């Protein structure tokens, strides 16, 4: 039996499937790709059938059939335009609630031609699914749109060609809140989705973005790059160290996945630059630094302090710290900071190299806002030289 989701008009939201995530019951939504395909199907149906419809059904690649309300219908002798409102369910998504439009008009020949207009990004760099200059409509949504429109040609017995234009009026503004500018997508957002359904709090979208960022560097001639967990690392890289942020990939908490991506893409070397609060966990072999995965920061500080002669009282004091800033201050006051950080960096390097294997050069620079660089691994200088050399040659 098909799974179904039903959309309601106006600001009301789809009563989607409920799923469990991190001990919470959350509601699924549907992707920008599903919205574009449904809008294109509805517009082509009204153009070829000559009747206004208020709802359209769409079977997603995941096997869930959507019933979606059509909004802002515009009919002219040449074309029909209409919109579907995006519903991200309980996923925190900047595109939630926006209107995604499709305009369909007849054209000569028998082709189906798909393009993106206002608010749909354009590809400006190599490494993505589309070629430079094409609209940022990914492969699966592109296939969904074309198949949906073709189904209406067959339904209404039309053998001629159709031009399909996808537009997202708020797309250009929303793109500023996404990774698109870093990925070489300009002028709007992407039309995305491999399953057609938005899974709440999905990590796959983030890890896919990390892979794409690194893939783009690789395909544009760079075998060496920086990796930063977030804005702290990015700011330290550019403002304190004076290096080029264009050579950096943001990895969020996904250290292990980023290393795997580098290996799979055939990168020659990566250098992590991150705050002590994130990267200290690597010294315990933790490769996902989100607090819900593991929080071993004080255990790492305490154990390495003990290895370097700290008293039981000091070890207990470190274990009672709430922040790495506090722990660093205590170690500095005791004259142990340099020795403890050297010990931590040795273990951190061991786990990085274990994950990377033999064919990827890897290292890390760890810093704090207050102290600057706290430690670096043995291959740091070599990695810096390779990255800077590639940048100067590009």
- 203-241, pLDDT tens digit by residue? 677 788 899 999 999 999 999 999 999 888 989 999 999
pTM given for the model: 0.66
Q: Where are the alpha helices (DSSP H) in the chain?
A: 32-49, 139-155, 171-174, 180-183, 204-219, 231-235, 255-265, 276-279, 297-307, 312-319, 324-333, 337-356, 380-393
30: nearest Cα among 55, 1, 7:
7
CA count, 13 A, side-chain hemisphere, 240: 19
- For residue 178, what are the contacts with CB-CB under 8 A and spacing of at least 6? 94, 189
What are φ and ψ of residue 382, in 5° steps? -60, -45
pLDDT bin (cut points 50, 70, 90) of residue 195 is confident
The tokens of 15 are what? Answer: 């009563």
> Following CA atoms 295, 301, 302, 304 in sequence, which dihedral angle do they give, to the nearest 10 degrees?
130
Superfamily of domain 3-198: CbiD-like (3.30.2110.10)
> pLDDT tens for residues 253-272?
999 999 999 999 999 999 99
Question: Where do the domains of the chain lie?
Answer: 3-198, 205-393
Residue 12 has pLDDT above 50, yes or no: no
Q: Are strands 112-116 and 161-167 parallel, antiparallel or unpaired?
A: parallel
% of the chain at pLDDT higher than 70? 91
Average pLDDT, the chain: 89
Predicted local distance difference test score (pLDDT) of residue 9: 38
Rg (CA), the chain: 25
List, for residues 49-82, the tens digit of each pLDDT value.
999 999 999 999 989 899 999 999 999 989 999 9
Contact in structure between 374 and 384 (CB atoms under 8 Å): no
* 270 contacts: CB under 8 Å, gap ≥ 6: 224, 225, 226, 227, 249, 258, 259, 262, 360, 361, 362, 383
92 contacts: CB under 8 Å, gap ≥ 6: 201
Q: Are 219 and 261 in contact (CB under 8 A)?
A: no
Q: In what order do the strands lie in the sheet with 79-85?
A: 71-75, 79-85, 99-107, 161-167, 112-116
Is 249:217 a contact under the CB 8 Å cutoff? yes
Give the pLDDT confidence of 120-145 residue by residue, as tens digits. 999 998 777 889 999 999 999 999 99
């Amino acid at each position: 039996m098909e799974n179904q989701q039903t959309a309601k008009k106006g600001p009301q939201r789809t009563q989607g499937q409920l799923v469990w995530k991190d001990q919470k019951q959350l509601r699924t939504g549907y992707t920008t790709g599903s919205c574009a395909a449904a809008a294109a199907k509805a517009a082509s149906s009204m153009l070829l059938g000559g009747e206004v419809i208020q709802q359209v059904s769409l079977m997603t690649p995941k096997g869930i059939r959507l019933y979606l309300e059509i909004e802002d219908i515009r009919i002219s002798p040449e074309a029909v335009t209409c919109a579907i409102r995006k519903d991200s369910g309980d996923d925190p998504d900047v595109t939630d609630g926006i209107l995604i439009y499709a305009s369909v008009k007849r054209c000569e020949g028998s082709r189906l031609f798909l393009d993106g207009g206002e608010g749909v990004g354009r590809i400006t760099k190599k490494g993505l699914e589309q070629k430079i200059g094409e609209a940022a409509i990914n492969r699966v949504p592109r296939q969904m749109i074309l198949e949906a429109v073709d189904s209406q040609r067959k339904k209404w017995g039309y053998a001629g060609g159709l031009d399909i234009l996808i537009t997202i009026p708020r797309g250009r503004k929303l793109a500023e809140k996404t990774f698109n500018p870093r990925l070489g997508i300009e002028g709007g957002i992407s039309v995305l989705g491999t399953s057609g359904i938005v899974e709440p709090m999905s990590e796959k979208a983030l890890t896919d973005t990390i892979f794409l960022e690194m893939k783009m560097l690789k395909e544009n001639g760079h075998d060496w790059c920086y990796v930063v967990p977030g804005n702290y690392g990015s700011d330290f890289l550019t403002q304190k160290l004076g290096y080029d942020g264009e050579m950096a990939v943001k990895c969020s908490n996904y250290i292990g996945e980023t290393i795997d991506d580098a290996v799979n893409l055939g990168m020659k070397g990566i250098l992590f630059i991150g705050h002590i609060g994130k990267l200290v966990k690597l010294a315990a072999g933790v490769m996902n630094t989100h607090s819900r995965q593991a929080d071993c920061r004080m255990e790492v500080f305490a154990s390495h302090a003990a290895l370097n002669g700290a008293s039981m009282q000091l070890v207990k004091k470190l274990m009672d710290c709430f922040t790495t800033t506090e722990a660093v201050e205590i170690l500095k006051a005791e004259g142990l900071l340099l020795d403890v950080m050297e010990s931590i960096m040795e273990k951190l390097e061991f786990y990085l190299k274990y994950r990377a294997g033999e064919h990827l050069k890897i290292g890390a620079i760890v810093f704090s806002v207050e102290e600057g660089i706290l430690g670096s691994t043995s291959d740091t200088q070599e990695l810096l030289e390779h990255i800077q050399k590639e940048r100067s040659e590009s």
